[in-house]
Amino acid sequence: MATLKDVAKLACVDVSTVSRALNNTSYVHPETKKKIYAAVERLSYKPNLIAKSLRQGKRNAIGVVVPGINFSIFSEIVQGIELEARKLGYSIMICNTNDNPDSEEECLNRFRNGLVDGIIIASTGQNMRLLRDISASGIAVVQMVRKQDKEFSSVVADYDACGYEGVKYLYAKGCRHIGFINGPMDIIPYKERYRGYHRAMKECGCEEMVTESTQHLGDYFQDGYAGVAKLLEKDPELDAIIVAADLQGLGVIRALKERKIKIPDEIKVMSLTGHSIGSMMETTMTSMEMPAKEMGVRLTGMIVEHIDADADHQPNRQHVVFDASLVERETT
C-alpha cells in the first residue's frame, strides 16, 4: 500500500504538503495540487485510517452492543443505526451479548481501548459501573431500548403506554380476561410493559394474569407457546393474550391453533413490540408498532452529537421516548 511518503516523493513535495492538499486544510498551489493528485492516482493511494485515527484521536466508529440481531426488534434498529452512521461518516462495530453479562463485559472491554468513539447499547444492566468508567474515559455512551441508567442519554419507546393502551384496547373490544406473556422482568422495558398492563387492568377492574419468559432471547417462541398453557390454567375463561414480543406471539398463535381455539373469536392476541413480521403472518397480528428504524437513526444522531460535544466539553444528556402506534390486524 502506498503511503503519504510515497506520494510526496513522487510529487516532489513534503508529506505535509500532500496532507494539506488532500484535506484542503491550508493553502496549496494549484500546480502542486495537480502534481499531487496525479501521484495519488498513479499510486492509487488511500489514506490509512488507522494512522489518521491515532493522530487525531478519533475513530469514526461506533460500537453497537445488542442482545442479538436476528429476529428481533434490534435487527431493525441496527439497520437504522447503520444507515445513519454511514451518512455521518461512521463505521459501526457490532457485538452480540445474548443478554449475557459476561459477554457484554467482554464486548465493552473490547470497545473501550480506543476502538470506537461511542457506544450504543441495549444493556443487561449488570455492567453499569463499567459503562460509567468507559464514559468517564471519554467515550460517549447512549442507551437504546433499555434505559438502565439516567446518567446516559437514551432512546426508548413508551413501553408503559404500550402495555396500558394494549389492555384498554382489548377491554374496549370486550375482553375481560386478559393474560400477559412478558419477557424477563429484570429487563426494564418488560418491567414497564408490565406496569402499564397492571395499571390498566386495575383501572378496568380485571384480575391480572402474567407469565414471564426466561432470559434467553432465542426461546421467545417457546415461551409464548408454553405461556398459553399456563394462562389457560390460571383462567380457563381467558379471552385475550398480550405478548411482549412478536416471536412470543408466533408461539401463542401456534399453541392456540393446536388447541383449536379460534383467533380472534375466542381469544384475541396482540403484541406490544411490533415490527415487520406482524403484517406478514398468516393471521396478521395486531400490535403496538415501534418506529425501529427511526429509533436507530435517532440513536446515531445522538451518539454523534455526544461525540462532538465531548470534544467541546459540553455534555447534553437527553432522553427520547418514541411513541408506539397501535395497528389493528386480524388477531383482534
Interface residues toward DNA, by CB under 7 A: 1, 3-5, 12-17, 19-20, 22-23, 25-32, 45-48, 51-52, 54-57
User: With contact defined as beta carbons under 8 Å apart, do 242 and 163 qualify?
Assistant: yes
User: With contact defined as beta carbons under 8 Å apart, do 282 and 41 qualify?
Assistant: no
Instruction: List CB contacts of 71: < 8 A, sequence separation 6 or more.
Output: 247, 277
Sequence-ordered strand ranges (E) for 175-291: 178-182, 209-212, 240-243, 268-274, 286-289
Please report where in the chains the cell 462495530 appears, as a residue.
Answer: 93
Among 16, 276, 314, 325, binds a second copy (CB under 8 A): 276
Q: Least distance (Å) from a second copy to the CB of residue 31? A: 27
Size of the residue set binding a second copy (CB under 8 A): 52
DSSP-derived secondary structure for 57-116: T---EEEEEES--SSSHHHHHHHHHHHHHHHTT-EEEEEE-TT-HHHHHHHHHHHHHHH-
Given a second copy, DNA, none, residue 325, with its beta carbon under 5 to 8 Å by kind, binds none
Q: Least distance (Å) from DNA to the CB of residue 48? A: 3
Q: Which is nearer to a second copy, 1 or 172 (CB)?
A: 1
From 11-19, 27-35, 62-70, 119-127, span contacting a second copy (CB under 8 A): 62-70
Q: Which is nearer to DNA, 28 or 65 (CB)?
A: 28
Is 49 among the residues that bind a second copy (CB under 8 A)? yes
Given DNA, a second copy, none, residue 44, with its beta carbon under 5 to 8 Å by kind, binds a second copy
Please report where in the chains the cell 416471536 appears, as a residue.
Answer: 247
- Strand arrangement, sheet containing 209-212: 209-212, 178-182, 240-243, 268-274, 286-289, 325-327
Q: Least distance (Å) from a second copy to the CB of residue 162? A: 21
Residues of this chain that bind a second copy (CB under 8 A): 1, 44, 46-51, 53-54, 59, 61, 68-71, 75-76, 78-79, 82-83, 86, 91-96, 106, 109-110, 112-115, 133, 137-138, 221, 247, 250-251, 253-254, 257, 276-277, 280-283
